[in-house]
């Protein structure tokens, strides 16, 4: 197979992954001839892939961007390893990633991803804040363990037994905190990859109802759904949406008093662009956005003072908020006296054809 055939065949092999990335992605040959442009790239760059393929990026892109990419491709030819190049356009800073396509030790093209530096900086700031809190969770029992073993211990058997039990508890706490950090780390990194697929929005509602119905019955909570059956199938990251819905429903199950109602709904708004919204409505409680501070993607200021159980809940909510952020979504909280509270999250989707 010739080089040009290989590079043109490459997007077909990875079309599912590239098509649904929420960042502009281009694939070019080593000379800068465009062979692929994902939908986000078409939208952001104002191009149509079918008309752009086969043309040089100098003809298609703004001069500042094309020149930066050409220089990057030249470096790629010499080094044959991934590059990150900062580019500046007016007040916008971009970080461009160029990854080589090298089958059989020969460079045949490059995958180019365009990212706004402002978005990266904001995510890094959130990461730093959350990691710092999680690291404190790890170091606190370790420091206590150090103090514990620095004490002078006699030969009293009971005292030695207590020392052993205390040390085991502290080690267990430290390991639990470390596991939390490991579990959260993929969510907290700046690149949460979306694996989109086709599904009907009501599927997630049905699964959630099925999972939580036994707990709702045990707590005497009426749990039901209000989704619309005539909604079209959508293309989005079903797994991440499901995780968000489960986390939020778990949170509401703790808040709702016995005898109240918990309703789940899904709604698909097609204009001006398709947006899928999931809502959880609970009677008997009145909450505001301040009560859901952790949906701002950060831990609350008093996080270090919370109980282990409350910390666990807040970590889950931070995960949910970061997943919503990764899917370019938004959250909304509405409360009404004598009615209850509705928490909803909306994300842009594509309509399955």
Give the model's pLDDT for residue 276: 93
Task: Of 81, 115, 114, 111, give the one whose Cα is nearest residue 15.
Answer: 111
Q: What b/e sequence results for 40-75 when a residue is b if at least 16 CB atoms lie within 10 Å of its CB, and e otherwise?
A: bbeeebebebeebbeeebeebbeeebbebbbebbee
Kindly give, in sequence order, each residue whose CB lies less than 8 Å from that of residue 173, ignoring residues fewer than 6 positions away.
Answer: 140, 141
Q: How far is CA 67 from CA 27, 43, 59, 60, in A?
A: 16, 21, 11, 11
Instruction: Report d(CA 38, CA 136) in Å as an integer.
Output: 41
Enter the pTM of the model.
0.54
**Helices 308-326 and 238-255 sit at what angle, rounded to 10 degrees?**
150
Give the model's pLDDT for residue 308: 74
Give the model's pLDDT for residue 151: 61
For each of the chain's 353 residues, which pLDDT tens digit applies?
445 555 555 555 555 556 656 678 888 988 999 988 888 888 888 898 889 988 999 999 988 889 999 999 999 888 878 888 888 776 667 788 888 887 767 788 888 888 776 665 655 565 566 566 666 666 666 666 666 666 655 566 676 677 667 777 766 666 666 555 555 555 554 456 677 888 989 889 988 888 888 889 999 999 888 766 678 899 988 888 988 898 899 888 888 889 899 999 999 988 778 899 999 998 888 877 677 766 766 777 777 677 878 877 887 888 888 888 878 888 888 888 777 888 899 999 988 87
Give the model's pLDDT for residue 130: 59
Q: Dig out the tokens for 156 from the structure.
A: 């009293």
331 backbone dihedrals φ, ψ, rounded to 5°:
-120, 160
* Strand intervals (E) in the chain: 25-28, 34-37, 83-89, 92-101, 109-116, 197-199, 222-225, 234-236, 261-269, 275-282, 330-336, 340-348, 350-351
**Which residue, chain included where needed, has tokens 């939580």?**
212
Give the number of other CB atoms < 10 A from CB of residue 202. 17
Kindly give, in sequence order, each residue whose CB lies less than 8 Å from that of residue 257, ignoring residues fewer than 6 positions away.
Answer: 284, 285
**Which residue, chain included where needed, has tokens 């170091």?**
139
Give the model's pLDDT for residue 10: 57
- CA atoms within 13 A of residue 304's CA, in its CB half-sphere: 13
Per-residue DSSP letters for 4-29? HHHHHHHHHHTHHHHHT-SS-EEEE-
């Amino acid at each position: 197979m010739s080089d040009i055939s290989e590079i043109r065949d490459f997007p077909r092999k990875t079309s599912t992954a590239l098509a649904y990335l929420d960042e502009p992605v281009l694939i070019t040959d080593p000379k800068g001839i465009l062979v692929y442009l994902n939908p986000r790239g078409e939208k952001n760059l104002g191009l149509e892939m079918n008309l752009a393929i086969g043309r040089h990026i100098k003809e298609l892109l703004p001069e500042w961007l094309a020149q930066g990419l050409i220089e990057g491709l030249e470096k790629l030819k010499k080094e044959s390893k991934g590059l990150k190049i900062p580019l500046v356009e007016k007040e916008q800073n971009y970080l461009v990633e160029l990854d080589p396509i090298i089958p059989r030790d020969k460079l045949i093209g490059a995958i180019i991803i365009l990212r706004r530096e402002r978005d990266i900086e904001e995510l890094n700031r959130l990461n730093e804040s959350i990691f710092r809190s999680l690291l404190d969770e790890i170091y606190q029992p370790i420091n206590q363990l150090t103090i514990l073993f620095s004490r002078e211990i006699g030969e009293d058997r009971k005292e030695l037994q207590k020392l052993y039990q205390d040390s085991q508890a502290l080690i267990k706490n430290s390991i639990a905190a470390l596991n939390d950090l490991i579990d959260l780390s993929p969510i907290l990194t700046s690149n949460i990859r979306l694996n989109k697929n086709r599904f009907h929005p009501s599927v997630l509602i049905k699964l959630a109802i099925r999972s939580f119905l036994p707990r709702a019955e045990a707590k005497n909570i009426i749990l039901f759904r209000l989704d619309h059956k005539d909604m079209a199938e959508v293309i989005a990251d079903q797994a991440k949406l499901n995780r968000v819905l489960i986390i939020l429903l778990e949170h509401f199950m703790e808040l709702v008093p016995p005898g109240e109602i918990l309703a789940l709904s899904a709604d698909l708004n097609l204009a001006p662009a398709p947006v899928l919204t999931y809502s959880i409505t609970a009677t008997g409680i009145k909450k505001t956005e301040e009560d859901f501070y952790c949906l701002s993607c950060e831990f609350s200021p008093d996080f270090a003072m919370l109980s282990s159980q409350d910390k666990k809940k807040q970590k889950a909510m931070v995960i949910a908020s970061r997943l919503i952020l990764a899917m370019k979504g938004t959250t909304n909280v509405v409360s009404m006296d004598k009615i209850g509270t509705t928490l909803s999250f909306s994300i842009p989707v594509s309509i399955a054809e």
